[in-house]
Structure 1
Amino acid sequence: MSTHTKTLTSTLSSVLLASACALTMTMSATAAPAAAPIAVSKTAPIFYGDGGKYPFSDAVRVGDTLYMSGQIGFKDGKLVKGGIKTETKQALDNIQAVLLQYGYKKSNIIKCSAMLTDMDDFSDFNKVYQTELAKPYPVRSAFGVAELAAGASVEIECIAAK
């Protein structure tokens, strides 16, 4: 091989090597970053119960917080008799059962919402509520509503946290 050919080959090799390096650097700079591994959230919702024949879950846990569906005074598939006091007691017993089923207790309740069909029953409702829950009481909202499922007088919905 002549000196001229060796020089030309060496020059071409250097140019090709430099071009390949430049192309690689350009591709690296413009390429999409590698996909990060998918993080599994420790607070993804966990749905409990199927609501039976109704389209809702009994409760949903997100992290250490349990969000419960509202409870009325149902026992053995029918509304208890006896009015607001009896219904309130049964609704709170039902809440207790849901809490225990999913590893919580009444002292874990942090928020309740109460719906009453007659706000004149508010005092009687409070008497039962006060005997069933202990201080410090959860924060609470109470609403007067026109009607509740199954002709109930009261429905109570709670959130519990550990």
Structure 2
Amino acid sequence: MAEKIIIATDKAPAAIGTYSQAVKVGNTVYLSGQIPLDPQSMQIVSEDFSAQVVQVFDNLTAVCTAAGGSMSDIVKLNIFLTDLSHFATVNEIMSRYFSQPYPARAAIGVKELPKGSLVEMDGVMEL
């Protein structure tokens, strides 16, 4: 079995539970869910949905960079939303962080997310 390497950066929120920000096995990096926490204050950045999405993408970017990759290396992205009517906003903001070919993606409506977040994302990156 390939060695597991734990990825951690202070440029993304510290893990608030029994998990790592990401785990690298071989050339694959499994990114834990990111919510819109400011890495310094560990507080939700804003009640504004767009600001929350931007922070989540910024947090994912920081973890990707710490793992030796970039957002363009994400092959699968999962998006969890407490209100699926915000999906057009997610698409618009996502276009600032990704270009074609886009990763595979799922969008899932959920009842609630940690700390009252409106959005959470996780993914898989291939280096």
Residues 130/54 of structure 1: CA separation in 2 closer, same or farther (3 Å cut): same
| Paired residues for 1:57-76 under 5 Å | 57-75=20-38, 76=41
The CA distance in 2 between the partners of 1:151 and 1:53, in whole Å, is 14
Sequence identity, in percent? 32
| Number of equivalences | 121
Gaps of 5+ in 1: 1-40
State the TM-score, normalized to the length of structure 2: 0.88
Bigger strand share:
2
The match for 1:79 is 44
> Which structure is higher in RCO with an 8 Å CA cutoff and minimum separation 6?
2
What is the CA distance between 1:158 and its match in structure 2?
1.3
Q: 1:154 aligns with which of 100, 105, 119?
A: 119
Determine whether 1:47 maps to 2:6: yes
Equivalences for residues 1-162 of structure 1 within 5 A: 41=1, 43-49=2-8, 51-75=14-38, 76-162=41-127
- Secondary structure (helix, strand or coil) at the match of 1:69 reads strand
Q: Residues 78-102 of structure 1, C-alpha deviation per residue, up to 9 Å, x if partnerless?
A: 1011522111111000000001112
Greater fraction of residues in helix: 1
Contact 2:23 2:30 in 1 (8 A): yes
2-structure distance, mates of 1:140, 1:90: 19
Q: What amino acid is the match of 1:127?
A: E
Q: CA RMSD, aligned part only?
A: 1.6
Mapped to 2, the partners of 1:153 and 1:68 lie a distance apart of 19
Give secondary structure in 2 for the equivalent of 1:78.
coil
**C-alpha distance in 2, partners of 1:114/1:53?**
19
Q: Structure 2: state its 5+ residue gaps.
A: none
Q: What's the CA shift string for 1:15-43, capped at 9, x where partnerless?
A: xxxxxxxxxxxxxxxxxxxxxxxxxx4x2
Q: 1:14 is matched with which residue?
A: none
Residue 88 of structure 1 aligns to a residue whose secondary structure is: helix
Q: Distance in 2 between matches of 1:88 and 1:133?
A: 14
Bigger mean CA offset, 122-131 vs 145-154: 122-131
Larger Rg computed on CA atoms: 1
